[in-house]
């Protein structure tokens, strides 16, 4: 019997993934990561629901306390980033450093198992021609989570199973109901657990960063208003600026050194290119010459055609065919060839 450790958050997706593998004859072991204190889908009530699913399936359930890891790689990472005027993307960082890596290590070292599974909507394919594991978009494009998984290395991809990759979300709900799973009717969780547990990103950040009044200025340096902390702003933001103007204004840059938020019209928040660092190449090895691809610069944005120019193995310049709005340092840029993830990294700066 094949053995697999299934990461269980207590939601319907991971619960259904565990049930599907159990029904396929796998020896399933449930594993829940304790990420933070207090309320949150992946923590307090999530652990209870995960335990119920394991009891229902008749499989063991392990809880691993990695709150210190989560504090370092996610909480501290976010606070440091926002205080420096960038908008970090925690989910890809969490998947790599907090979830998949620790899960696989625990499975190997404590459970004599070299396979892990999650409820993510994505697919994996082995390409014998390239000798690489490929990360492919899910069949359900509305739920596809490859944007958050681009940073998984080959050793992780070789050990992961995504049972929901070829399902629609409606199929997942239907299967959960047919299996009479405890979580079948559980509401969707928010994409970011810290928002879920704190009520908003602003509330979370205000726990760690004190108010610091500064100026809101236009591109010429004219003072238009005041702000109470640069961490409350992100590139492309329009609402909540607290200033009146004859035309819509957007945040176009954040000057952490001078504690200023710079605003302008939409054209000034539109950029022709950007640089990306901390690049992870997935389907291909790092190229030596420019390649064509489609890039997503936010989770819910459409992929757009670009030329990717390698600078080093871990840094590239992305030139958009058409200038793009709201290119945000700290967010991920993930490039695709059709449904295949070629690579991705963190937006460093725009030009």
CB 149 within 8 A of CB 298: no
Q: Angle formed by the axes of helices 12-23 and 169-178, to 10°?
A: 60
Active-site residue flag, 274: no
Q: Where does residue 239 rank: exposed (0-12), middle (13-18), buried (19+ CB within 10 A)?
A: exposed
Q: Considering all CA atoms of the chain, what is the largest pairwise distance in Å, rounded to the nearest integer?
A: 69
Distances (CA, A) of 68 to 71, 74, 216, 223: 5, 10, 36, 42
Residue 147: CB atoms within 10 A of its CB come to 25
Instruction: Measure the CA–CA gap between 161 and 75, rounded to whole angstroms.
Output: 28
Active-site residue flag, 54: no
CB 50 within 8 A of CB 41: no
What is the distance of C-alpha 7 from the center of its chain? 16
Instruction: Measure the CA–CA gap between 318 and 296, rounded to whole angstroms.
Output: 11
Say which residues have a Cβ less than 8 Å from residue 237's Cβ, sequence separation at least 6. 250, 251
Indicate which residue of 43, 91, 94, 113 is catalytic: 94
Phi-psi category of residue 181: left, alpha or beta, with phi > 0 → left and psi -120 to 50 → alpha:
beta
Indicate which residue of 42, 43, 193, 274 is catalytic: 193
Residues known to be catalytic: 94, 193
């Amino acid at each position: 019997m094949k053995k697999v450790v299934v990461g269980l958050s207590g939601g319907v997706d991971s619960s259904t993934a565990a049930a599907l593998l159990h029904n396929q004859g796998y020896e399933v072991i449930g594993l829940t990561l304790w990420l933070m204190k207090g309320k949150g889908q992946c923590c307090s009530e999530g652990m209870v629901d995960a335990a119920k699913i394991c009891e229902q399936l008749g499989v063991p359930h392990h809880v691993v306390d990695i709150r210190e890891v989560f504090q370092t790689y996610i909480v501290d990472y976010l606070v440091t980033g926002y205080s420096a005027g960038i908008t970090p993307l925690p989910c890809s960082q969490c998947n790599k450093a907090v979830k998949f890596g620790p899960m696989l290590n625990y499975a190997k070292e404590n459970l004599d198992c070299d396979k892990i599974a999650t409820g993510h909507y994505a697919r994996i394919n082995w390409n014998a021609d390239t000798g690489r594991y490929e990360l492919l978009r899910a069949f359900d494009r509305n739920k596809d989570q490859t944007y958050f998984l681009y940073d998984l290395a080959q050793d992780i991809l070789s050990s992961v199973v995504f049972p929901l990759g070829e399902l629609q979300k409606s199929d997942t709900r239907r299967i959960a109901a047919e299996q009479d799973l405890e979580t079948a009717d559980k509401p969707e969780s928010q994409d970011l657990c810290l928002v879920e547990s704190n009520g908003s990103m602003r509330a979370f950040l205000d726990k760690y960063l004190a108010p610091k009044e500064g100026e809101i200025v236009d591109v010429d340096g004219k003072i238009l208003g005041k702000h109470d902390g640069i961490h409350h702003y992100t590139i492309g933001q329009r609402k909540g600026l607290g200033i009146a103007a004859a035309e819509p204004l957007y945040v176009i840059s954040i000057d952490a050194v001078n504690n200023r938020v710079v605003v302008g019209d939409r054209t000034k928040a539109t950029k022709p290119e950007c640089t990306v660092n901390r690049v992870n190449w997935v389907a291909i090895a790092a190229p030596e010459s420019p390649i064509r691809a489609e890039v997503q610069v936010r989770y819910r944005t459409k992929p757009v055609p670009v030329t990717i120019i390698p600078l080093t193995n871990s840094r590239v310049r992305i030139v958009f065919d058409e200038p793009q709005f709201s290119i945000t340092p700290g967010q991920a840029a993930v490039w695709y060839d059709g449904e295949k993830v070629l690579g991705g990294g963190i937006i460093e700066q725009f030009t």
